[in-house]
Amino acid sequence: MGPNLRPAGLSATVGFIALSAGSLLLSNLPSARSDDKSATAHAAHQLKSAPGAADLPFDVQFIDSMAAHHQMGVAMAALVPDRARHAELKEMAKKSIDDQRQEIQQLNKWRQQWYADKSSGLNMELPGMAAMKNMRMDKLKAASGEPFDLLFIDEMLPHHQGAIDLSRQALTKADHAELKKFAQKVIDAQEKEKEHLKHLKSQWSKEPK
């Protein structure tokens, strides 16, 4: 789901993703305020492939699509502090935000180094991306306590699987060795966290109501 959560929000230059019928430069991602997180989560539901994205080099598609996928993960994890019952889930969410912010920044750095002249490569047809549209953010925002914790796990598991599926494509299709290494890191981390989330769900589901 890497390090040092910054209270003011993400870096001022995070990267490109496409939103609806055009591309949007996310120069200012959400701050720690809940209304900003909700807006970002809602925007993620509206994501569509950028025009011509499928015709761009795979590495551009992977970078922009993974950045959008990670941003959705940040928006989901940002709901946890004010809603979750279990401290362990809150700790996991904080680490998730830290890790994904760091990875978005790394993706943006490569984007600027390698493909600054390319249009948005956000491709919702890539394996793993469709799950973003199925996230039940409204239900998550309306829940709290134990129901929230279990629902969050139910929503995060397919989100993790989406990142794994997308990363597996990069292992064979990416031109840059850095992206292949990045993808393997994502796979390893998300697989490990999936198993932990499943364990927590099993444990918490047995707790007295």
Q: 49: which DSSP letter?
A: P
CA dist list (Å): 31 to 11, 97, 112, 118: 10, 12, 23, 28
Between CA 152 and CA 144 the distance in angstroms is 10
Q: Within 13 Å, how many C-alpha atoms sit on residue 106's CB side?
A: 18
Distance of CA 84 to the CA centre of its chain: 19
Specify the pLDDT at position 200: 95
Specify the pLDDT at position 209: 62
Q: Are 154 and 160 in contact (CB under 8 A)?
A: no
Low-confidence ranges of the chain (pLDDT < 50): 2-45
Specify the pLDDT at position 134: 81
Place of tokens 């040092």: 4
Q: 22: which DSSP letter?
A: S
Between CA 67 and CA 174 the distance in angstroms is 16
Give the pTM: 0.79
Between CA 82 and CA 27 the distance in angstroms is 26
SS3 25: strand
Specify the pLDDT at position 100: 94
The domain segmentation of the chain, as residue ranges, is: 15-205
- CATH topology for 15-205? Ferritin (1.20.1260)
Q: Are 132 and 63 in contact (CB under 8 A)?
A: no
- The alpha-helical segments, DSSP class H, found in the chain are 34-45, 58-77, 87-115, 137-142, 145-173, 177-205
Between CA 58 and CA 79 the distance in angstroms is 32
Specify the pLDDT at position 46: 60
Between CA 20 and CA 46 the distance in angstroms is 6
